[in-house]
């Protein structure tokens, strides 16, 4: 019952919140699954919802506590869209990000953080098929040939004890109009062990971000495009909605 009330309350906020902020497509706080080095300005918050395979929904809230500190929470469930009972997550996930370097001529924007949100079906031990980033350090650098292209790189270590090995992530975002940004993200998947499908490779995720209105963002994701048969959410699609406002 408590979970139902929590989801209902968050849904009302997503619909009713007054929109007076700006969408953050120029400095996205995450690529597809992995966090970037960017945060939200002080006093700005985001309310988001991602619709994932098997009728799943992930809802989240992010708050810019300062210009350098971002905190957020998220909660999800499978089979929300469809018939039968929803499969509620066992816990609320959270993330925190601290930006410690601003971009300069030879220095990228850099941040460290922790993100407990995984993706795919939740396993019996409470973890997810696709492990969370866990602790990470990430960097973003505007390309010298154009201010509309940004390169991203990161190193993470999940707290899933069965697969606790560092992972490497690289990506890029390219804004080709005032409204649209293309995203590519590749995770090497080094955290996987022998339990994963034989010949496992990393995750290749693509995304298209549309600033539908000044404070409304719609995201379309194509995820795990190169994984072997049996890997989580293979060749899957997801759609996200993000609303921005300020206190």
Q: How far is CA 4 from CA 9, 41, 54, 146, 192, in A?
A: 9, 31, 19, 47, 34
Residue 58 in tokens? 């992930």
Residue 73 in tokens? 């929470």
Q: What is the pLDDT of residues 113-167, one digit of tens each?
A: 999 999 988 887 778 888 889 999 999 999 888 888 999 999 999 887 565 678 8
Cα 233 to Cα 238: distance, rounded to the nearest angstrom: 10
Domain count, the chain: 1
Cα 99 to Cα 131: distance, rounded to the nearest angstrom: 23
Give me the CATH number covering residue 25.
Answer: 2.40.160.40
The pLDDT confidence band at residue 107, using thresholds 50, 70 and 90, is very high
Cα 153 to Cα 170: distance, rounded to the nearest angstrom: 4
What's the mean pLDDT when you consider all of the chain? 83
The pLDDT confidence band at residue 12, using thresholds 50, 70 and 90, is very low
- Give me the pLDDT at residue 23, please: 53
pTM of the complete model beyond 0.75: yes
Q: What is the pLDDT of residues 223-245, one digit of tens each?
A: 999 877 778 888 999 999 999 99
Q: Report angle CA 180, 93, 60 to the nearest 5 degrees.
A: 35
Q: Rounded to a whole number, what is the distance in angstroms from the first to the last CA of the chain? A: 30
Its domain, for residue 242, covers 2-246
């Amino acid at each position: 019952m408590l979970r139902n009330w929590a989801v209902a309350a968050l849904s009302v906020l997503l619909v009713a919140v007054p929109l007076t902020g700006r969408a953050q497509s120029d400095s996205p706080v995450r690529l597809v699954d992995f966090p970037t080095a960017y945060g939200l300005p002080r006093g700005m918050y985001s309310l988001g919802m991602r619709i994932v395979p098997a009728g799943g929904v992930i809802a989240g809230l992010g708050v810019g506590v300062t210009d350098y500190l971002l905190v957020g929470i998220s909660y999800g469930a499978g089979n929300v869209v469809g018939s039968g009972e929803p499969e509620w997550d066992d816990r609320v996930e959270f993330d925190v990000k601290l930006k410690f370097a601003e971009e300069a001529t030879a220095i990228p924007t850099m941040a460290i953080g922790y993100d407990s949100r995984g993706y795919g079906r939740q396993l019996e031990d409470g973890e997810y098929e696709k492990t969370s980033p866990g602790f990470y350090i990430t960097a973003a650098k505007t390309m010298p040939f154009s201010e509309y292209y940004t390169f991203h790189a990161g190193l993470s270590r999940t707290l899933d004890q069965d697969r606790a090995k560092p992972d490497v992530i690289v990506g890029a975002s390219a804004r080709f109009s005032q409204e649209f940004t293309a995203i590519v993200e590749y995770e090497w998947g080094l955290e996987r062990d022998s339990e994963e499908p034989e010949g496992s490779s990393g995750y290749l995720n693509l995304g298209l971000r549309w600033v539908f209105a000044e404070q409304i963002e719609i995201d379309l994701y194509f995820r795990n495009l190169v994984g072997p048969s049996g890997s989580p959410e293979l060749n899957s699609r997801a759609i996200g909605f993000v609303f921005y406002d300020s206190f």
